Structure 1
Amino acid sequence: MELDRGYLVALEGIDGTGKTTQWTLLADYLEERGLPVVRLREPTQGVWGQKIRKILSEGRGETSAEEELQWFLNDRKEDVEQNIQPALNANKVVVIDRYYYSTAAYQGALGFDPEQICAVNEAFAPRPDRVLIFHGSLEKSLERIETGRDGFSSFEKKDYLKNVQDIFSSFKGVHIRRIDSDGTVANVHRQVVAEVDDLLGIEEAR
């Protein structure tokens, strides 16, 4: 299947929703149908992304919330310039695990204005053709985090994640779709595939 332009699909939601598993499954699904796929994740493995990942694993320390937000912006600017825009220009499907809606939600829960964060990002970052926001039981997400990893990151506290989830729920737009993340992996994958098939015009029976 050839595309007449590039497409950007962002998977968003709090940790523990199974988002990253579905990111992998979606990219695999599209590649099996012969589509050119670029898999990206944010924070990236670049210089700024590594600084952010250190905060996630070790805590913020003396890093201010303002500095942290700037690191996210710096990391994304590099990602857009080096990876996202070139792939879109080459008519590929970019499937990204977290994008600027995550920054707006997580930093918004620290007291920043989520709408302003989105506006700042959209000044340089292409808006996704589809944003799949994974939403489910907070308790189930926390259970998945506990059983799937050794401890929580600095962003994974219950009250904080509830605020993050509420901000994710507030996002509106024709490009935004809600995915019920509480079902089985197969059930959630069917929801994801249906949304992306609709976007790309894939009519193959599932």
Structure 2
Amino acid sequence: MLEFILSHDNLPYFVCGVVVVMLGVIEMFARLAGASLVFVLDEPEPNLSTAEPSNPITQWLYLDRLPVLLWCVMALSLFALLGFATNLMCYLLRAHTLPQSISVWLVFPLTGLACHWLGSRSWWRYDRMMKDSDVDLSGSVAVMTLGTAKPGVPAEALVKDPDNHRHYVMVEPREGESVFVPGTWVVLLSRRKRVWLATRFEP
């Protein structure tokens, strides 16, 4: 199996897999340091769902609706998995793999279709988070759920409105506050674009 994975015909897919693993390791260390690569890269604006797309290809692939890092990891992972799967199927049926010049051009459109399908299902939560940022939740108590928030580095929090509806919002501590780790209860104070400034909740 190792010989199959490292074969010349599988080189593009092996490289993509290595890149995904490296990004995962870097993200893990970033999380341990209280940051995240996702928030460093450019992301779509909150009102993107009503904006005109820059071009139909990026819209169809959901490249203009998901965080750049998330989309790149998704595309690279799908390309690697589909490439290995294609060559494995060919190897099992014909006892040899497809040359790169053939398999790559076969896997490219399959990856595009997979990105469209998976992107449409990944976007709903991100889109909901962006819409939730427009709800007036000043004074509401939220709990940090994902990532470590510190000044300039927002993280995800869960809050319920007066009607008991759940909202996922991006939160960062106000100036002078300490970091918020997952499980920390905070009070939302004011919204700056799509990010809520918050202070630690003292019951």
Q: TM-score, normalised by structure 1?
A: 0.30
Q: TM-score, normalised by structure 2?
A: 0.30
Name which one, 1 or 2, has greater alpha-carbon Rg: 2
Structure number with higher relative contact order (C-alpha < 8 Å, ≥ 6 residues apart): 1
